Amino acid sequence: MDRNVIIKRKPSGPIIFLTWLFLIILPVLFLNSTLSMMFSLAEKSNEKLSRNELINEALIFKKDLEIPEYLNREFAAFFAESAKKANLDAEQAARLLQKKTGLKPTLVIEHGNDTASIESRFIDKSVADKLGRLSDFFTLKLLMKINNQPLFPALNPSNQKKLERFQSKAAREKLVADADLFFQRIFGLIAPIPCSPEKTMVSVSSKLGGFVYFYYKPFYKITDKNKSIKSGLFFMIRGRSISSTRVVQSAIKAGKSNLGREVTFFDSELNDDKTLELKKITGFTSAQTGLQLRTTMPQNLMTHIISMGGFYPERLAKVRKRLPLILVTKNRAFLIHPLKKYQQLIYLFEVFFVAIGTLFFLRAFFFGVDLHLGIRAKVSFAILLTLLMPSGLMLTSYVSWQDLNDRAIEIEAENLLQRKLEKIQDKFNLFQEDLQLSSYLLSEKIQQNLTHGKIESLISRNLQNSLAEELYLDFPDRVVSFENPKSNFIPLEKEEDSLRRLFAKGVFNSFKCAEEYKNIDNLEEGIDLFEEKFLVDSTFLSSLIANNGKLGSLEQSKTRNVYSIIPLMNDSTGKNMGCMMLRFNRLEIVKAFLKELKPGLAPEYTEYSFYLRDNEDLQLFNELKLPIPEQRLKIALDTNRSMYWQKTGQKLETFGIKVFPKTPLLVAARQVSVPTEESAIGALKFLVPAFLFAQFIFLAKIIRKIYLQPIQELALAAEKVADQNFEATPEIEDKNEFGDMKKAFDEMVLGVAQKEKLSQFVSKDVIEAVGGVDEQKLKPGGEKVEATILFAALEFFDQQLKENSSKLLLSRLGMFIEAGDKIAEENAGVLDKVIETTLMLVFRAKKPKDDTHALSACRAAIKLKDSMAEMGIETKMALSTGMVISGRIGETHGKLDYTVIGDTVNTAARLKNVHIAEPQTNIIIGPATIRALKGAGRMKFIKRISLKGKSREFPIYELIELREKKE
């Protein structure tokens, strides 16, 4: 096998051409085509996704262009600028408001504490004679009505009595009526002032000749217990004084940073009907600046522009020539792919890459390849040659796919959430159809029993099991009503009851007249008949038949009641006998539906929040509350639905709001999208992995030849060394870094072999002591440590020497030494030295006041005794515990011995020579060792002996066994 990694050859022309084509040209072409496709698809996808965003922005723009919304923003900014506005009098407030915002107030009124006094007034001179004198009494009543003063505690005790007379409901109603009547007359309004705190309302004034706007700002004093009204400013602004240009400029500034707002004009006059047929006023266009949506101005602002805030169309001719339209734009920079701005840079890199690659392959064709590089240079060259373009391709593909995939997931999540909301709508429709069916069944029962005259019990039973609050039977001569005892019955207001009766009479007379009209041959008689009777036209009768029994309101009003209306027909004659009406409360219908819906609502990564709304005020029905941005709520109320996304980290959340028309129900939902395998580019999904796989195979062959083969040889040789084969060496012929590695490896193996051989002659402590290269560590010296010394000797060895061969005895001695070394190591000790047939084992303390070494030494002694006994070899042992000097003994430049010395060592050696008459274990132990065991061993006292170096007789014991603690 050729192991030489030096590349020195001259490849053939076809090989060089194919390599150049495969590694240089194809990746560049592939990258260019991929990027072009990515950029095109990303822009189209972004435009498609942005349409919904532009529609929402256009709706918000229209809302911001409403003059009340404009005034709300201006007043909010004006009062937020400084807290000192609370101390302004009426004239100062008018002057400062005009200076800061350009709004010219017609009337400003300042009131004092608890709305008890008028502090100052400002009236524009141009309208002072038209308004006349403003009564303080009725002005205060108006301000009390607007700020709900009777509901606030008085700030000054002296005002408390004045406010108490308005506490009752009747007094408050009279307060409202008096204030409305007076100011309708003073301002010539078509309706009462529809004003509430910090919200602009609009009305029409005949005296001031057009629209007028009202805004009231209260100032509160808030304590821990109460909130009282300290003062307030009431503004009235004429529509004529409001600049439409300022309204537009303010609305444009309120837009998002990534969406442009502007006003444009229709490019044709409106007096040409054919032009309007050919050209659309509203629609999407793709321009150089980005995606645009053009649509009409809000009606409120158009009326203001045409009439200049008055009654008459003063600018109609100008508007017909140049119809103003609103234009919202998604900037092109937000539509293009993120990498497109680097397209020129990528192109320059591709040119450079092709040039360098072509020069390299041309050199290889003419002069061959002769590379003597180091490992680092070879790795860098291989990566540059084989991975740079594929990596760039993979990166751009991944970014593009991920981007398009995110958009696909967004669209799918929106569609999924929309389907779920529509499914709730379908269920609600089925729920109402069930109510309709129950109305049919009840009407049939009433029709069948009506002639018998006993229907009270029938109706009572059915009403108790119904959601209806009341049932009405309207006959030509009488009306009978039945209340549902289980409902929270609320009587009808007079106006609604009158309308209900009138509607029932219309139903009865419509059917009656239709029957009589069939029998009339003369047209004139038929006309007379229609004039005599209370009738409605045939459209009413047709709609009644089409909506028979369905839930509907009697008028386009804010009433919370809906009715199921079914004519009662005589089964035998087919004539109309009357009309049955079931009255339902919208709120109770929705509550009943939600109770029925909730148990069967499958989440599927979706959370729902149900709201019951009264106009724009939302009351949460269930415990889950999802955040609904105010602008999104406005869009939902205008369009009955709104969708938007929010991304937190890697998790995409889709929010949807659906308004159920003609009901108080609003559903908010959050869909936590589960990533799917949706890819916008199917073909590239397979081409890129195939290309990268081919690149990988090519790279793998090069890397294996140049790098992996020598590494494998090193790994194989290392495995052999691990198996104690110290003659193994890697077969590497390279003359670069791998050759140096081979040399270093061989030297390492030689050192390991020598160390392995040395370990057979000395303890591991000695090997560790000389293992470093620091000369300071080889200097003589030691330290005092506590240790237990164990001397173990073979018994009767001299006698056995005479009776047995030396080979057998040496074998037994070898087994004894091997067992002693192994058992010492297992018990945290070392075999220090072998003295003839005696082993010296040392068990050192690992840290101060650590006496576990004594237990370890005793355990090792017993285990060594038992191990040798199993082989038929008798031993004798002795242990001694105490302080020793542990370290290197000898001269620096002479012989050194890593061992322990001291009285403890001498004591153990002398105890080993003591003879016991009848031994059980033949393990002698001294008092110091017994104390260190702390009761962990069972001893047998032998005798007291005179021991060299000891002034008194020394007690000796025999270690019988250890009492090991159970874990």
Q: Tell me: the pLDDT tens digits for 941-956?
A: 999 988 887 778 889 9
SS3 content of the chain, % helix, strand, coil (to 5): 50, 25, 25
Inside any domain, residue 367? no
The token duo for 562 is 């809906």
Banded model confidence at residue 525, pLDDT cuts 50, 70, 90:
very low
State which H helix or E strand residue 623 sits in.
none
Instruction: Say yes or no to pLDDT of 533 above 50.
Output: no
Whether 502 and 480 map to the same domain: the answer is yes
Whether 669 and 709 map to the same domain: the answer is no
Banded model confidence at residue 629, pLDDT cuts 50, 70, 90:
confident
Residue 327, C-beta contacts closer than 8 angstroms, at least 6 positions apart: 260, 261, 262, 263, 264, 292, 293, 294
Whether 295 and 329 map to the same domain: the answer is yes
Using the structure block, give the residue that is written with the tokens 């840290």: 847
Compute how many other C-beta atoms are within 10 angstroms of the C-beta atom of residue 275. 13
How far apart are alpha carbons 541 and 549 in whole angstroms? 14
* Across 348-352, average pLDDT: 89
Instruction: Say yes or no to pLDDT of 771 above 60.
Output: no
Tell me what percent of the residues of the chain surpass a pLDDT of 70. Answer: 73
Do the Cβ atoms of 173 and 180 come closer than 8 Å? Answer: no
Query: What CATH number is given to the structural domain containing 470?
Result: 3.30.450
Whether 527 and 439 map to the same domain: the answer is yes
Q: Which residues pair with 887 in a beta bridge?
A: 782, 899
Whether 660 and 709 map to the same domain: the answer is no
- Given this model, what pLDDT does residue 579 score? 86
Average pLDDT, the chain: 78
Torsion over CA: 629, 630, 631, 632 (sign): positive
Whether 904 and 949 map to the same domain: the answer is yes
How far apart are alpha carbons 682 and 860 in whole angstroms? 72
Could you list the residue range(s) of the whole structural domain that residue 568 is in?
A: 426-592
* Across 725-744, average pLDDT: 63
Strand spans (E) along 547-664: 551-552, 561-569, 576-585, 606-614, 617-620, 641-648, 651-659
Rg (CA), the chain: 51
- Given this model, what pLDDT does residue 786 score? 92
The token duo for 49 is 């996704």
* Across 455-484, average pLDDT: 86
Q: Which residues pair with 788 in a beta bridge?
A: 843, 881
Residue 432, C-beta contacts closer than 8 angstroms, at least 6 positions apart: 550, 551, 589
- Alpha carbon distance, N-terminus to C-terminus of the chain: 60
**203 against 512, higher pLDDT:** 203
How far apart are alpha carbons 576 and 591 in whole angstroms? 35
How far apart are alpha carbons 671 and 580 in whole angstroms? 44
Banded model confidence at residue 256, pLDDT cuts 50, 70, 90:
confident
- Given this model, what pLDDT does residue 363 score? 80
Boundary-marking domain end, from 188, 219, 241: 241
Boundary-marking domain end, from 308, 337, 366: 337
What does residue 482 show for φ and ψ, rounded to 5 degrees? -130, 130
Instruction: Say yes or no to pLDDT of 503 above 70.
Output: yes
Inside any domain, residue 377? no
Planar angle of CA 811, 813, 816, nearest 5 degrees: 110
Count of all residues that appear for the chain in the document: 967
Inside any domain, residue 967? no
Whether 658 and 697 map to the same domain: the answer is no
* Across 417-438, average pLDDT: 89
Do the Cβ atoms of 787 and 900 come closer than 8 Å? Answer: yes
Whether 128 and 205 map to the same domain: the answer is yes
- Given this model, what pLDDT does residue 395 score? 62
**Structural domain tally of the chain?**
6
Most confident listed range (173-177, 443-447, 710-714, 924-928): 924-928
Inside any domain, residue 432? yes
Do the Cβ atoms of 382 and 699 come closer than 8 Å? Answer: yes
- Given this model, what pLDDT does residue 523 score? 42
Inside any domain, residue 32? no
Whether 181 and 296 map to the same domain: the answer is no
Task: Name the pairing type of β-strands 923-925 and 875-890.
Answer: parallel
Instruction: Say yes or no to pLDDT of 4 above 70.
Output: no
Sheet (strand 210-222) strand order: 118-123, 107-111, 227-238, 210-222, 201-205
* Across 472-500, average pLDDT: 84
Helix axes 494-518, 538-546, angle to 10 degrees: 100
State which H helix or E strand residue 686 sits in.
helix 682-703
Name the burial class of residue 239, with classes exposed (0-12), middle (13-18) and buried (19+) by CB atoms within 10 angstroms of its CB.
buried
Do the Cβ atoms of 736 and 375 come closer than 8 Å? Answer: yes
Banded model confidence at residue 615, pLDDT cuts 50, 70, 90:
low
State which H helix or E strand residue 272 sits in.
none
CA torsion angle 822 823 826 830 (round to 10): -80
- Given this model, what pLDDT does residue 416 score? 84
How far apart are alpha carbons 557 and 491 in whole angstroms? 17
Q: Which residues pair with 213 in a beta bridge?
A: 202, 237
- Nearest Cα to Cα of residue 145 among 108, 174, 188, 187: 174
pLDDT tens for 893-903 read 555 667 888 89
Whether 794 and 887 map to the same domain: the answer is yes
- Given this model, what pLDDT does residue 778 score? 45
**54 against 531, higher pLDDT:** 54
Checking 173-181 for CB contacts under 8 A at 24+ apart, the result is 175/141, 175/144, 175/145, 175/150, 176/145, 178/138, 178/141, 179/138, 179/141, 179/142, 179/144, 179/145, 180/145
- Given this model, what pLDDT does residue 72 score? 92
State which H helix or E strand residue 454 sits in.
none
Inside any domain, residue 633? yes
Banded model confidence at residue 522, pLDDT cuts 50, 70, 90:
very low
Inside any domain, residue 329? yes
The token duo for 965 is 């603690």
- DSSP conformation class of 22: I
Boundary-marking domain end, from 321, 337, 353: 337
Whether 816 and 873 map to the same domain: the answer is yes
**71 against 34, higher pLDDT:** 71
Planar angle of CA 16, 19, 25, nearest 5 degrees: 115
Instruction: Say yes or no to pLDDT of 818 above 50.
Output: yes
Residue 354, C-beta contacts closer than 8 angstroms, at least 6 positions apart: 24, 25, 28
Chain centre to alpha carbon of residue 556: 42
How far apart are alpha carbons 381 and 23 in whole angstroms? 13
**620 against 426, higher pLDDT:** 426
How far apart are alpha carbons 763 and 532 in whole angstroms? 131
Distances (CA, A) of 66 to 53, 303, 314, 548: 20, 11, 20, 40
Inside any domain, residue 931? yes
- Given this model, what pLDDT does residue 277 score? 54
Using the structure block, give the residue that is written with the tokens 């199917």: 682
Residue 696, C-beta contacts closer than 8 angstroms, at least 6 positions apart: none
* Across 556-564, average pLDDT: 72
Whether 221 and 256 map to the same domain: the answer is no
**Helix/strand/coil (H/E/C) assignment for every residue in 354-388:** HHHHHHHHHHHHHHCEEECCCHHHHHHHHHHHHCH
